[in-house]
Amino acid sequence: MSTKPKLYYFDGRGKMESIRWLLAAAGVEFEEEFLETRDQYEKLLQGGSLLFQQVPMVEMDGMKMVQTRAILSYIAAKYNLYGKDLKERALIDMYVGGTDDLMGFILMFPFLSAEDKEKQRALIAQKATSRYFPVYEKVLKDHGQDFLVGNNFSWADVHLLEAILMVEEKKSDVLSGFPQLQAFKARISSIPAIKKFLEPGSQRKPVPDDKYVETVRRVLRMYYDVKAN
Ligand SMILES: N[C@@H](CCC(=O)N[C@@H](CS)C(=O)NCC(=O)O)C(=O)O
């Protein structure tokens, strides 16, 4: 039996992408089963492995884990990416929570109408530059260290780099007013495990395309319109 974690999701970013990032940052190899058909999803449902009838699901260490946040916390703790004490852990949770809120605006993007996409693109850039990036810029400037928390590489750094790259895909010059974040991006991107994940051919997923949207809609029977928030 394989001891590698096995990820069950679509062949695209969605809620699984941060899990891929964190495993890659921890240097953990993983396997994936991509949901392409309704049948596959229903088999998982019938097998009882989707506790709340939702993916992502990750089989790891004898568990069938669901709930993205729980999966990420487990990986962060297991691979020493979750701070050295409870206070560092709380800070990491706060930063990851903020970054996650920013990513939420991007996650829904592929499912929007063309008109809503343009509004959402502006909103993403506005939220990034006026609410989220200034926080991290100040944290890095104030403590002058390489990483967000405790002078050690953590889940907070991995999550922020993922978000920066996602926002840049929507607005390429979004870091222009954030010198600390520009340096942070270069620094974290050059960590060997991250560098490898950023190279072509890794398990990192591309910007979601129409095929991805169609597959998600078909498998989940998602027939309603998604509206911008
Ligand atoms: N709180 C859950 C939400 C998971 C979720 O919404 N998954 C979607 C796919 S991205 C799903 O399986 N939807 C099917 C459904 O809710 O019936 C998590 O963070 O993992």
100-108 average pLDDT score: 97
Strand (E) or helix (H) holding 134: helix 133-143
Task: Answer for the pair 98, 135: CB distance below 8 angstroms, yes or no.
Answer: yes
CB atoms within 10 A of CB 203: 15
**Any atom of ligand 1 within 6 Å of the Cβ of 55:** yes
**Any atom of ligand 1 within 6 Å of the Cβ of 53:** yes
Q: Which range (85-99, 106-120, 214-228) has the least confidence?
A: 214-228
The tens digit of pLDDT for each residue in 30-70 reads: 999 999 999 999 999 999 999 999 999 999 999 999 999 99
Strand (E) or helix (H) holding 113: none
Q: How far is the CA of 187 from the centre of ligand 1 (A)?
A: 33
List the domain boundaries for the chain. 6-79+198-220, 86-190
Q: How far is the CA of 12 from the centre of ligand 1 (A)?
A: 14
Task: Answer for the pair 149, 83: CB distance below 8 angstroms, yes or no.
Answer: yes
Q: How far is the CA of 179 from the centre of ligand 1 (A)?
A: 36
Q: How far is the CA of 42 from the centre of ligand 1 (A)?
A: 14
Q: Which residue is closest in CA terms to ligand 1's atom 5?
A: 54
Q: Which residue is closest in CA terms to ligand 1's atom 13?
A: 54
**Any atom of ligand 1 within 6 Å of the Cβ of 220:** yes
Write down the pLDDT at residue 17: 98
**Any atom of ligand 1 within 6 Å of the Cβ of 56:** yes
Q: How far is the CA of 50 from the centre of ligand 1 (A)?
A: 10
Q: How far is the CA of 138 from the centre of ligand 1 (A)?
A: 34
Spatial separation of the C-alpha atoms in residues 114 and 100, rounded to whole Å: 24
Atom of ligand 1 nearest to the CA of 67: 20
Q: How far is the CA of 68 from the centre of ligand 1 (A)?
A: 9
What does the longest C-alpha to C-alpha distance in the chain come to? 52
> Which residue type occupies 71?
I
Atom of ligand 1 nearest to the CA of 220: 14
The tens digit of pLDDT for each residue in 130-185 reads: 999 999 999 999 999 999 999 999 999 999 999 999 999 999 999 999 999 999 99
Task: Answer for the pair 38, 221: CB distance below 8 angstroms, yes or no.
Answer: yes
Atom of ligand 1 nearest to the CA of 56: 20
Q: Which residues contact 73 (CB under 8 A, 6 or more apart)?
A: 82
Q: Where are the beta strands (DSSP E) in the chain?
A: 6-9, 31-34, 57-60, 63-66
Spatial separation of the C-alpha atoms in residues 48 and 42, rounded to whole Å: 10
Task: Answer for the pair 10, 212: CB distance below 8 angstroms, yes or no.
Answer: yes
120-124 average pLDDT score: 97
Write down the pLDDT at residue 100: 98
Q: pLDDT band at 2, cuts 50/70/90?
A: low
Q: Which residues contact 158 (CB under 8 A, 6 or more apart)?
A: 21, 22, 25, 81, 188, 194
Per CATH, the number for 86-190 is 1.20.1050.10
Superfamily of domain 6-79+198-220: Glutaredoxin (3.40.30.10)
